[in-house]
Amino acid sequence: MSTQLWVATTNAGKLTEFKNLMSDRCEIHAAGEMSFYSSPPETGKTFEDNARIKARALKSLKPGIWVVADDSGLEVEGLGGLPGIHSARYAGDKASDRENVAKLLKMLQIRSPGNRKAQFRCVFVAYDPDGGEHKIEGLVTGQIASSAQGTSGFGYDPIFIPEGHDKTFAQLGLAVKNQFSHRAKAIRELMALMRL
């Protein structure tokens, strides 16, 4: 297995999803394995901007190898698309998943209790060994549960009910989530691009 993919993330949950879907096809490495790596500031206005910032930073350290960065988040219709690119920091820079979830449920109750439509959006920016840039997007639609339910996954998984299901991602578990989640869709497209 000679193909390597370096993922520009320090998020253990994201890395697990990459490994679950790809580790039998290629070697997966995380940027955090490099002692001198520090995640660049995400100053972009879109998921694509932020993914590109992270991917370029890693590509400069790992030339000639596949690198990918993922920026993703939850977009809630009743909150005008928020938290969006601020998903990981919705309740503050050092907020925990639980704090972010609590703030989102509270804001939705205040602003739009009748509209619980939401989608997870994921954008990858990948660089191939020759330096070519590729953009991949994955989406999954659903709705926000009235309260957090389930223990699997991370982030907003305990309150997101994907379309066609009556349980949250956190209740469905990783094996089910990895069949059709936003990131699973993008990872499969990346695998096709890498010819794995």
Tally of domains in the chain: 1
Tell me the per-residue pLDDT of 78-109, one tens digit each, with 9 for 90 and over: 999 999 999 999 999 999 999 999 999 999 99
pLDDT bracket for residue 163 (50, 70, 90): very high
Q: Residue 1 above 60 pLDDT?
A: no
Mean pLDDT of the chain: 95
For residue 55, give the nearest of 138, 127, 148, 113 by alpha carbon: 127
* Residue 80 structural domain: 4-193
Please, which residues bridge with residue 120 across strands? 74, 140
pLDDT above 70 as % of the chain:
99
Please, which residues bridge with residue 67 across strands? 6, 127
pLDDT bracket for residue 17 (50, 70, 90): very high
Token pair recorded at residue 89: 């920091």
Tell me the per-residue pLDDT of 169-195, one tens digit each, with 9 for 90 and over: 999 999 999 999 999 999 999 999 999
Residue 93 designated active-site = no
For residue 56, give the nearest of 35, 71, 75 by alpha carbon: 71
Count other Cβ atoms within 10 Å, centred on residue 193: 16
For residues 163-189, one letter each, b for 16 or more C-beta atoms within 10 angstroms of the residue's C-beta and e for the rest, the string is eeeeebbbbbebeebbebbbbbbbbbb
Collect contacts of 133-136 with beta carbons under 8 A, ≥24 apart: 133/52, 133/55, 134/193, 135/48, 136/186, 136/189, 136/190, 136/193
pLDDT at residue 10 in the model: 84
Catalytic pick from 71, 93, 97, 157? 71
Q: Residue 72 above 60 pLDDT?
A: yes
d(CA 99, CA 97): 5
pLDDT at residue 13 in the model: 87
d(CA 76, CA 118): 4
CATH of the domain at 13: 3.90.950.10
Quote the pTM value: 0.93
Q: Residue 35 above 90 pLDDT?
A: no
Q: Are 196 and 126 in contact (CB under 8 A)?
A: no
Please, which residues bridge with residue 162 across strands? 142
